[in-house]
Amino acid sequence: MVVPRRRKRQRKAKLPEEWRRIGRPEWERHPKLLSGARAARKMIVEGDLKGDWHDFRTPLGKVEWELGVSISDIVRTKIRKGAYSTAKPVRVLDLGCGAGTALQALKDKFKERIRTVGLVMEKTPGEKYAGVDRLVVGEINEARVRERFDVIYCRTGATTYTWLGATALERVIRWLKPGGRAALEINPYLKKNVMPEMRSILMVNGIRKYEFRETDAGTILLFEKPAKRLP
């Protein structure tokens, strides 16, 4: 009688931690970020309600200097390339527009050739938000933004204070038109956990040319969404 040999149990290969987390929301991959996000939301809402932020009325020149890029030049180039018409103005989104001071300066320069949208966590009572054609209220990962933009920038705003940076970056890429450009200040506390994911998100979306630039103001992410080419 032949006794069958016992088969050795095959151990399942353990996937690397980062592989096993693929497909899970960012707040599940990095639970500690969620508590930070909640605390930041409370602080920003209180500041917006009072309208007393240090950067609430930052002029365009200072915004451009701290981002290390001229938003005016980007808009001007978009107007020229787009063969400007009043039906299709260049669309600009300020993620954390404060009182709209920077957007007002852009309006003064380009008049009806641009359409401006500003995002704030909470609307300040009595604030006029001059220079803002449409105001979006809400946290960046929950805000309802219907339009697509040629230019998106953030200096001391939505991408600076969010703790869910990878999720926010995905939304910004979605809101950009093909060929659109972004200049975003990144939360400095996200470098260790989230920066590698942000690089992956850029690559997955076909964005090969990007730059994380270290400035006196902080870490600035600059990139352009690739435009579809005709065959």
What pLDDT score does 188 carry? Answer: 82
Report residue 209's pLDDT band, with 50, 70 and 90 as the boundaries: confident
What pLDDT score does 85 carry? Answer: 56
pLDDT digits (tens, 9 = 90+) for 80-109: 987 555 568 999 999 999 999 999 999 999
Going by C-alpha positions, the residue among 63, 81, 85, 83 that lies closest to residue 72 is 63
List beta partners, residue 184.
154, 221
What pLDDT score does 178 carry? Answer: 94
pLDDT at 25 exceeding the cut of 70: yes
Asked if 159 and 185 count as a contact pair (C-beta separation under 8 A), the reply is yes
CA distance 206 to 149: 18
User: DSSP 3-state helix, strand, coil percentages of the chain (rounded to 5)?
Assistant: 40, 20, 40
pTM for the full predicted model: 0.85
What pLDDT score does 84 carry? Answer: 55
CA distance 130 to 102: 10
Quick one: 44-224 is in which CATH superfamily?
Answer: Vaccinia Virus protein VP39 (3.40.50.150)
